[in-house]
Amino acid sequence: MIGAPLISEGKVLIYDGVGVLLRGDTFLVVYQKAARLERTRWLFDVVETVLLENDGDILAFMIVLPNADPPDGPTLEENRRRMKKIDHRVRRLVTTPIGNAFKINLVRAVMRGLNVMLGHSRARFIVDTVNEGLERLLEAASERTPSAPLILSDIGAIYRALGEPEPRFPVGGSVPPKHG
């Protein structure tokens, strides 16, 4: 592992344009910069460290900001290899690309391809909005999963730590309740 820091619940960790926050059984990830090998290795090192220290599985919600390019070939292979290693412990993975239609479709294509390669497309979702992502995430909630308002607040904390403007997520209906 390449220096994965100890992660404390509710604390934002930042590495070169990638922000992570763990709360309960839920990992929140915001990619501000391109998905490249060192960033991806750092992210998986953090996740694997938490999984080694804890029983149970996790939920993951990844937001890809407009400036974050999808993974290149070596990074995509690293994603595939590392995801395969931990996949049995990831109860649900939801990805929300934000940006123009071209970039959103590119991220969707890469994530769908990765999901198909891993054979878990029913537990992996690529959605159009943060609210839709939150709804999909909470469909797999456990008693350790934080509430929707707390998840949205934590996403805001990651944005701020990355120097991004405060997020404003359009509300399409009500915020989904926590399932469990």
DSSP of 76-119: HHHHHHHHHHHGGGEEEEEEEE-S-HHHHHHHHHHHHHHHHHHT
Return per-residue pLDDT of the chain as tens, 180 residues. 444 456 789 999 999 999 999 999 999 999 999 989 999 999 999 999 999 988 899 999 999 998 888 888 899 899 889 988 998 899 999 999 887 665 655 555 555 555 554 455 557 888 888 999 999 999 999 999 999 999 999 999 999 999 999 888 755 444 444 444
Sequence-ordered list of residues with C-beta below 8 angstroms from that of 16, at least 6 positions apart, any chain: 33, 38, 39, 42
- Residue ranges per domain, the chain? 13-161
Q: φ and ψ at 8, to 5 degrees? A: -105, 145
Q: Which two tokens stand for residue 149?
A: 């308002």
* Fold observed for domain 13-161: Transcription Regulator spoIIAA (3.30.750)
Q: φ and ψ at 11, to 5 degrees? A: -105, 130
- Rounded to the nearest angstrom, the gap between the alpha carbon of residue 63 and the centroid of all alpha carbons in its chain is 6
Strand duo 26-31 + 13-15: pairing: unpaired
